[in-house]
Structure 1
Amino acid sequence: MTDTPYVAVRGEATVDADPELARLSATVTVRAGEREAALRTLTARVADVRAALDERAAAIERRDDGALQVYPELTGDNQRVAAYVASLGVTVTVTDFAALGELLAALGGLDHVSVAGPWWELRPQSPAGSAARRAAVDDAVGRAREYAAAVGAALDRLVAISDPGTSGGYGGGGGARMAYAAAESTVLDLTPVPQSVTAAVELRFTLTPPTAFPGADRAAGHQPG
C-alpha cells in the first residue's frame, strides 16, 4: 500500500453530431422453375441495380456486393422443388445526402429489388469522437477535484489514464431504418438524423494531504466510491 493518497474517477460525455455517411442496401431476389433461369433473371436485375448506381456515382463513396445465394424452395411436404430462389445484395455508402432520396426511389422502383435504409453514420475518425473524449476528460477532472475538495485536499499529479472506449454513431446503428417500394418518379425527402457519440475515460490522481476529516494523516490509498 502506498503512503500517498490518491483518487480514481471515471468521466463520461456524449456529443451529438450531424451524420457524415448514409448506408443503404438493395437486394435482388428472383424465383424461377429452373436454377439456370433464376440465375439469368438475377443477372439481368442486378445489372439494372448497377446501372442505377452508375448514374448516381458522384453521390456514392463505396459499393459492396454481398454473397450470391441460390437455393431450392421445396413444396410443403419437402418432396420436390417448387422453385429456385436466387438473390444478391449490395450495400451502398452515400455522402451526398441531397441525392439520397432520389437514389432510394430509383432503386425501389426496380423489379425484384427491395431497399432498406438509410442508416446514418459518422466516419471512424470523425471529430465528434475527439470532442466526446475531451469532454469526458473534463468531466473526470471535475469529479476528481470535487472529491479532493471534499476531504480538504487538491489534485497533485495525474498518474494513470485509461480508455474504456467510445461508442455510438459509427456504423450499423443510430439512424432511421425504412423500407421502400417506390415508383421511380417519386423523390423521397430524407432528413439526416444526428448521431450521438459517447466516450468514457478513467483517471487516477495523487492528492495533497487531506485535512478535512479525522485521521487525515492516515489517508493513504483512500479512494472515494
Structure 2
Amino acid sequence: MTTETHTPAAPYGTPEAPRIAVRGEARLEVDPEIARIGITVSARGTDRRTALEDLTRRNTAALELVKAYGDAVEKLETGAFSITPELTRKGRGEHIRAYHGRVHLTAELADFTSLGELTTRLSDLDLTRVDGPWWALRPTSPVYGQARTHAVREAVVRAREYAEALGTHLVALLELADEGAEQAAPMPMAHGMRMAAYGGAGDAAESAPALDLEPQRQTVYAHVNARFTMAPPQL
C-alpha cells in the first residue's frame, strides 16, 4: 500500500519558478453616449380636483412634447407623483388653503442635437422645471471592454519589463483578477445645467432659442491584478 503525498504550491513561488505580481491599469476618456434630463410638472389649485386637472393637462403636454422627438428619445419614464394639501391656521384649527401637485418624468436621449432644443421648449411650458443633463455611457458600452483589455495588456507589459530587468522572461500566467471598471464620476455628479420655468404658457411671445450644450467627456477606469511565473534569473 502506497500513500501519495501532495506538496502544496508555495504561495510566493520557488527559486525554480519565481513569481511576479503586477497591477494593470487603464484610463480612457470618451464622448458620452446618452444624456438624461429630469422634468418636474407642477400644478396648484384651491381644490383637489382643479389641481389634478391642471396637473394632468400639463403632464400630457410635457409627454407629447418629448414624444414628438421620436427616435431621438430612447427612454421616457414617469417617476413620483404627489398631490399635497397646503394647510393654514385659521382660528383654533387648520384649514386647507390649496393643493399642490407634482409629477416627475425622466427622459433619456442619444441625439444631443435635439437635446438643447427640447430642454428649452420644456422649460417654456407652464409650471415645468427641467434638471440636467446628466451625461453617461450605456451599461453595455464597448468602452468598458476596451478599458479592461488595455489594463490586461499593461499588466503583461509591466510583468515582462520586470522579468527583462532580471535578464529572464515570463513563462506562464497564474492568475488574473479583475477589479472591475467604473466611471470616474457617477452620473449625478456630472456637470450639467439646471433651469426652471414657472410662468404662464403665454408669457413668451416666441420660442426661446435652443441651448448650445457641450457634452461632458466620460472617464472610464479598469484595474487588474496579475501573477506570472518566470524562468529563474541568473543573479
What's the TM-score, normalizing by structure 2? 0.81
Residue 96, structure 1, aligned to residue 111, structure 2: yes
Rounded to whole Å, the distance in 1 between the matches of 2:29 and 2:142 is: 11
Superposition pairs of residues 198-217 of structure 1, within 5 angstroms: 198-212=221-235
How many residue pairs get aligned? The number is 212
Runs of 5+ consecutive residues of structure 1 not aligned to the other structure: 213-225
Residue 27 of structure 1 corresponds to: 40
Instruction: Classify 1:203/1:174 alpha carbon distance in 2 versus 1 (closer, same or farther; 3 Å).
Output: farther
Q: Is the 8 A contact 1:16 1:128 kept in 2?
A: no
Query: Which whole-Å deviations, capped at 9, do the CAs of 1:112-169 have from their partners, x for residues lacking one?
Result: 1100111111112222112211111122112222333344442210111111111117
The aligned counterpart of 1:10 is 23
Whole-Å separation in 2 of the counterparts to 1:62 and 1:24: 11
Within the candidate set 147, 151, 154, 1:132 is matched to: 147
Residues in 2 aligned to 1:75 and 1:132: alpha-carbon distance in whole angstroms:
58
Rounded Cα–Cα distance in structure 1 between residues aligned with 2:68 and 2:110: 15
1:27–1:89 Cα contact (<8 Å) kept: yes
1:154 paired residue number = 169
Query: Aligned partners of 1:26, 1:162: CA distance in 2, in Å?
Result: 42
Other structure's SS at 1:186 match: coil
Equivalent runs, 1:163-178 vs 2, <5 Å: 163-168=178-183, 172-173=187-188, 175-178=190-193
- Alignment check: 8 A CA contact 2:67 2:73 kept: no
* Contact 1:122/1:170 (8 A) holds in 2: no
Report the CA distance between 1:9 and its aligned residue.
Answer: 1.6
Deviation at 1:173, TM superposition (A): 4.5
The residue type equivalent to 1:22 in the other structure is A
Residue 55 of structure 1, CA deviation: 1.8
Inter-partner Cα distance in structure 2 for 1:173 and 1:188? 21
Cα distance change, pair 28–149 in 1 and its aligned pair in 2 (3 A): same
Structure 2 CA distance for partners of 1:198 and 1:75, relative to 1, 3 Å: farther
Letter in 2 for 1:208: A
- Aligned-pair identity in percent equals 41
Match of 2:82?
A: 69
Specify the alignment match of 2:6 in structure 1: none
Which segment is superposed worse, 2-11 or 143-152? 143-152
Is 1:192 the equivalent of 2:215? yes
Question: Compared with structure 1, are the counterparts of its residues 154 and 80 closer, same or farther at alpha carbon in structure 2 (3 Å cutoff)?
Answer: farther
Task: Give the CA deviation at 1:12.
Answer: 0.9
Instruction: Give the TM-score normalised by the residue count of structure 1.
Output: 0.84
Please tell me whether the aligned partners of residues 59 and 95 of structure 1 are also in contact (alpha carbons under 8 angstroms): yes
Unaligned runs of 5+ in 2: 1-8, 198-203
TM alignment of 1:30-49, pairs within 5 A: 30-49=43-62
Over alpha carbons, which structure has the higher Rg?
2
> Aligned equivalents of 1:25 and 1:69: distance in 2?
16
**Would you say 1:142 and 2:157 are equivalent positions?**
yes
Once structures 1 and 2 are overlaid, which stretch shifts more, 27-36 or 4-13? 27-36
Is 1:60 the counterpart of 2:79? The answer is no
Three-state SS of the structure 2 residue aligned to 1:129 is helix
Secondary structure at the counterpart of residue 67 of structure 1: strand
Report the RMSD for the aligned CA atoms in angstroms: 2.4
Aligned amino acid, residue 121 of structure 2: A
Q: Which SS does the other structure have where 1:106 is aligned?
A: helix
Question: Distance between the aligned counterparts of 2:69 and 2:174, measured in 1?
Answer: 53
